Structure 1
Amino acid sequence: MENLVSLAISLAYILLVLGLATLVAHIQGGRSEYSRKLVHVMVGNWVFITPFFTSLWAVALVPLTFIVVNALSIRFHFFKAMGREHENLGTVYYAFSMFVLSSAAFLLGWRELAFIGLLTMAYGDGFASLVGRRWGKHHPFSFAREKSLEGSVTVAITAFIVSLACVALVRELHDETKTMNRAWEFGMSASFAIFVTESVLIALATAIFAAFVELTGKNGCDNLSVPICTGVFASLLLRYGSVGMTVYLLVALGILIYAYQKSAITADGIVAAELTAATLYAFSSIWVAASLLLFFIAGSLVSKISNSTKKRGECRQGDAGARNWKQVLCNSLPACVALWLAHFSHNTNTAALICFSVFAAACADTFSSEIGMLSRGKVLNLINMRPVPNGTSGGVTLLGIAAGMAGSALLAIPSAGQYGIRGFLFVLVLGFFGTLIDSALGSTIQQRFADKHGQLMDAPAYPRQRAVVGIAYASNNVVNMLSLILICIFAYFLKGLVVP
């Protein structure tokens, strides 16, 4: 009965919001930014109804319905008050964020995950657009010229207020008997001062992170990135934050900022990398967290080594240049998913071994590719051993194979700190095996295109060119992720060689 009542209240509330937005649009003579943002802000308040749901199907049904309705509205223009003249998928992303966060919050029992993420998106992103349009006169962000400093400050302030309220409430409920009662009994005690300080610091870090994430969102994608990234980041800080974690994240941020200045990573890549760093530190050991930094530093350094042969090879590739969020996630997501699953199944020791293997394989592949392209010798297809042009996916050289072994050995070093020499050898072998898997997949399933001479290349020679070899949309990033997923599987089934 509670679910049916909550569903009825949800439906009545959404219809009320759409009615108000339609009225505003009518008063202003048609669709407007005000009517659209009214829907954006008010729909986010649905999160206040979620605690009354008692079943997952019910809490997920509302945003799933939004996804379908918004997708149809974009196609058939049902609700003109909530759309732009040049529509993107922003409203669908909004509903998908609601589905992911409300469902995850219900399953994990992390109410702040949905509240912080969705309210920051609703109020922060919603008001930022209006503030930016009216008062936005400063545009200092080179990677987001269309967004203003005034709008970003609005996002930060909103995220700070929302996060502080949610963090303080959750922490008070968790520490009610031990900390808060004592604090109120004896006045502004040391325990209460620490409580306030930690809550403010978490909210401040979340506010800065949310504002930066909003800057990197394009074409409505901020409706997806802002709520999910902000909610996860704040929840990790709230539940697993420590002095060590703070220091680690600041070190990671410093490295990423330096890499950005050297054009080794993009702004959205920084978001993905910092969120990965928070996940690794929260759910695993310092050795695993250190392996991420080591991988990024080593990979960025070898990517800067170049000669004329490598430059010609890079012209055949589609993802040369600074790492973006897709490349960061494809190299780290398998490890993060393994940690999330292991954390809630209480098997983190095995997950750490999987993470070491994943990063060793990723580093081996990076070293093999970046250093291998320096070779002026023959490049052979790993499957049929026929010569291929330098820079072609699936091609290997003796220099690249040796570099792959070196990259795997480098990233196997942190594993020795947790598993000893047996763990080092396990990760070394599996990491090197990973680069061979990547080359095999690259030469078989990765999409490749023909240049004007009929030779294969990763990047299309012209817009909308169809792949002549491989599976459509199986890009180098997809191949990287598939190879690392396979490494996760191998590491799991072979873990008995290291973990008792």
Structure 2
Amino acid sequence: MENIVSLAISLAYILLVLGLATLVARIQGGRSEYSRKLVHILVGNWVFITPFFTSLWAVALVPFTFIIVNALSIRFHFFKAMTREHENLGTVYYAFSMFALSSAAYLLGWKELAFIGLLTMAYGDGFASLVGGRWGKHHPFSFAREKSLEGSITVAVAAFLVTLACIALIPELHSDLKTTFYSWQYGDSVSMRIFIAESILIALATGIFAAFVELTGKHGCDNLSVPIATGLFASLLLRYGSIGMTLYLLVALAILIYAFRKSAITADGIVAAELTAATLYAFSSIWVAGSLLLFFVAGSMVSKISNSRKRKGESRQADTGARNWKQVLCNSLPACVALWVSHFSQNTNTAALICFSVFAAACADTFSSEIGMLSSGKVLNLINLKSVPNGTSGGVTLLGVAAGIVGSALLAIPSAGQYGIRGFFFVLVLGFFGTLIDSALGSTIQQRFADSRGELMDAPAYPRQRATVGIAYASNNAVNMLTLIVICISAYFLKGLVIP
């Protein structure tokens, strides 16, 4: 009965919001930014109804319905008060964020995941557009010239206040912040001061992070990235935060900012990397968390080594610039998923071994590719051993093979701190095995295009060119992720060689 009542209240509330927005639009003489932002801000308040649902299907039904309704509205303009004349998928992303966060919050029991994420999107992102449009005079962000400093401050303040409110109103977060709620009642002034200080620092970090994520969002994607990234970041800090985690994230951020200034990573890549770092530290050991930083630093360094042969080889490849969020996720998502699954199944020791193997394989592939292209020797297709041009996916050189072994050995070093010498050799072998898998997949299933001479290359020779060989849309990023998934599975089934 509670679910039916909550669904009825949800429907009534959404209809009320749409009615108000339609009225505002008519007063404004048709479509207006004010009516759109009214919907954007008020719809987010639906999250206050979610605690009254008692079943997953019920809490997910409302946002799932609006994913479909919003998609149809973009096509047929059902709700003109909430659409632009040239609409992107922002409203669909908004509904999907509501669906993903409310469902995840219900399953995990993390109320703050939905509240912080969705309310930051509603109030922060909603008011940022209005504030920036009216008072935005400063545009200091080179990667987001259309965004204003005033709008970013609005996002940060909203996320800061929402996070503080959640800390104050969600009791289970108090013990997670290392200070019990009961200490307030018993007048423990020291514990109260610690609690307040921790709360403010976490809220401040969340606000700054949310503002940065909003800056990276393009074409309505901030309705997806801001709530999910902010909710996840804040939840990890609130439930697993410590002095060690804070220092680690600051070190990671410093490295990422330096890499950004050197054009080694994009702004959205920083968001993905910082979330990955938070996940690794929260759910695993310092050895695993450190391996991520080691991989990023080592990979970035070898990527900068160049000569004429490598530059020619890179001209045949796609996505050779700074690492973006897709590349970061394709190299880290399998490890993060393994940690999430293992954390809630109480099997973190196995997950750590999987993570070491994944990063060793990713590093081996990076070393093999980046250093291998420097070679003046023959480049052979790993499958048929025929000669191919330098830079062709699936091609290997003796120098590249040797570099792959070095890269895998480098990332195997942290595993020795947790698993000893047996773990080191396990990760080294599996990591090098990963670069061979990547080359095999690159020469078979990865999409490649023919140039004017009929030679294969990763990047299309002209717009809308169809792949000559391989599977359409199977890019290098997709091959990397598939390779690391194979390494995850292999490490899981072979873990007995290291873990008794």
Scaled by the length of structure 2, what TM-score is found?
0.98
Q: Which residue of 2 is the match for residue 356 of structure 1? A: 356
* C-alpha separation in 2, matches of 1:104 and 1:180: 25
Q: Which residue of 1 is the match for residue 441 of structure 2? A: 441
* C-alpha separation in 1, matches of 2:359 and 2:203: 31
Per-residue deviation, 1:184: 3.6
What SS is found at the alignment partner of 1:147? Answer: coil
What SS is found at the alignment partner of 2:170? Answer: helix
What SS is found at the alignment partner of 1:322? Answer: coil
Q: Once the two structures are aligned, what percentage of the paired residues are identical?
A: 85
What SS is found at the alignment partner of 1:179? Answer: coil
Q: Which residue of 2 is the match for residue 186 of structure 1? A: 187
- Matches for 1:453-464 after TM superposition, within 5 Å: 453-464=453-464
* C-alpha separation in 2, matches of 1:304 and 1:382: 25
What SS is found at the alignment partner of 1:186? Answer: coil
Q: Which residue of 2 is the match for residue 28 of structure 1? A: 28
Tell me the amino acid that sits aligned with residue 474 of structure 2. A
Q: Which residue of 1 is the match for residue 221 of structure 2? A: 221
* C-alpha separation in 1, matches of 2:137 and 2:65: 39
Tell me the amino acid that sits aligned with residue 358 of structure 1. V
Contact 2:353 2:495 in 1 (8 A): yes
Q: Which residue of 2 is the match for residue 131 of structure 1? A: 131
Q: Which residue of 1 is the match for residue 155 of structure 2? A: 155
* C-alpha separation in 1, matches of 2:321 and 2:180: 51
Contact 2:173 2:239 in 1 (8 A): no
Contact 2:179 2:191 in 1 (8 A): no
Contact 2:179 2:194 in 1 (8 A): no
List per-residue Cα deviations over 1:80-132 (Å, max 9, x = no partner).
Answer: 11111111000110011111100000000000000000000000000000001
- Matches for 1:374-393 after TM superposition, within 5 Å: 374-393=374-393
Per-residue deviation, 1:453: 1.2
* Paired positions, count: 499
Q: Which residue of 2 is the match for residue 62 of structure 1? A: 62
* C-alpha separation in 2, matches of 1:112 and 1:387: 56
* C-alpha separation in 1, matches of 2:418 and 2:152: 42
Kindly tell me: are residues 174 and 199 of structure 1, through their superposed partners in 2, closer, same or farther at Cα, counting changes over 3 Å? closer
Q: Which residue of 2 is the match for residue 16 of structure 1? A: 16
- Which runs of 5 or more residues in structure 1 are unaligned? none
* C-alpha separation in 1, matches of 2:210 and 2:21: 27
List per-residue Cα deviations over 1:194-253 (Å, max 9, x = no partner).
Answer: 010000011000000000000000000000000000000000000000000000000000
Tell me the amino acid that sits aligned with residue 295 of structure 1. F
Contact 2:214 2:226 in 1 (8 A): yes
Kindly tell me: are residues 173 and 90 of structure 1, through their superposed partners in 2, closer, same or farther at Cα, counting changes over 3 Å? closer
Q: Which residue of 2 is the match for residue 144 of structure 1? A: 144
Tell me the amino acid that sits aligned with residue 183 of structure 2. R
* C-alpha separation in 1, matches of 2:104 and 2:312: 46
* C-alpha separation in 1, matches of 2:86 and 2:173: 45
* C-alpha separation in 2, matches of 1:420 and 1:182: 42
Q: Does 1:423 align with 2:423?
A: yes
Per-residue deviation, 1:172: 6.3
Q: Which residue of 2 is the match for residue 498 of structure 1? A: 498
Tell me the amino acid that sits aligned with residue 310 of structure 1. K
Per-residue deviation, 1:488: 0.2
- Which runs of 5 or more residues in structure 2 are unaligned? none
Per-residue deviation, 1:402: 0.4
Tell me the amino acid that sits aligned with residue 110 of structure 1. W
* C-alpha separation in 2, matches of 1:449 and 1:361: 26
List per-residue Cα deviations over 1:372-410 (Å, max 9, x = no partner).
Answer: 000111111111111111101100000000000000000
* C-alpha separation in 2, matches of 1:275 and 1:295: 16
Tell me the amino acid that sits aligned with residue 185 of structure 1. Y
Q: Which residue of 1 is the match for residue 87 of structure 2? A: 87
- Matches for 1:311-350 after TM superposition, within 5 Å: 311-350=311-350
* C-alpha separation in 2, matches of 1:178 and 1:96: 35
Per-residue deviation, 1:174: 4.4
Question: C-alpha root-mean-square deviation of aligned residues, in Å?
Answer: 1.2
* C-alpha separation in 2, matches of 1:93 and 1:415: 39
What SS is found at the alignment partner of 1:342? Answer: helix
Per-residue deviation, 1:315: 0.4
Tell me the amino acid that sits aligned with residue 471 of structure 1. I
Per-residue deviation, 1:175: 3.8
Tell me the amino acid that sits aligned with residue 228 of structure 1. I
- Matches for 1:259-338 after TM superposition, within 5 Å: 259-338=259-338
* C-alpha separation in 2, matches of 1:179 and 1:354: 35
Per-residue deviation, 1:169: 2.6
List per-residue Cα deviations over 1:290-316 (Å, max 9, x = no partner).
Answer: 000000000000000000000000000
Deviates more, 1:476-485 or 1:454-463: 454-463
Per-residue deviation, 1:448: 0.6
List per-residue Cα deviations over 1:163-191 (Å, max 9, x = no partner).
Answer: 1111233356644997333334336x100
* C-alpha separation in 1, matches of 2:439 and 2:192: 56
Q: Which residue of 1 is the match for residue 100 of structure 2? A: 100
What SS is found at the alignment partner of 1:357? Answer: helix
What SS is found at the alignment partner of 1:289? Answer: helix
* C-alpha separation in 2, matches of 1:475 and 1:174: 45
* C-alpha separation in 2, matches of 1:115 and 1:162: 8
Q: Which residue of 2 is the match for residue 402 of structure 1? A: 402
* C-alpha separation in 2, matches of 1:180 and 1:492: 40
Tell me the amino acid that sits aligned with residue 296 of structure 2. F
* C-alpha separation in 1, matches of 2:347 and 2:225: 29
* C-alpha separation in 1, matches of 2:450 and 2:467: 8
Per-residue deviation, 1:452: 1.1
Kindly tell me: are residues 118 and 221 of structure 1, through their superposed partners in 2, closer, same or farther at Cα, counting changes over 3 Å? same
Q: Does 1:369 align with 2:369?
A: yes
Q: Which residue of 2 is the match for residue 195 of structure 1? A: 195
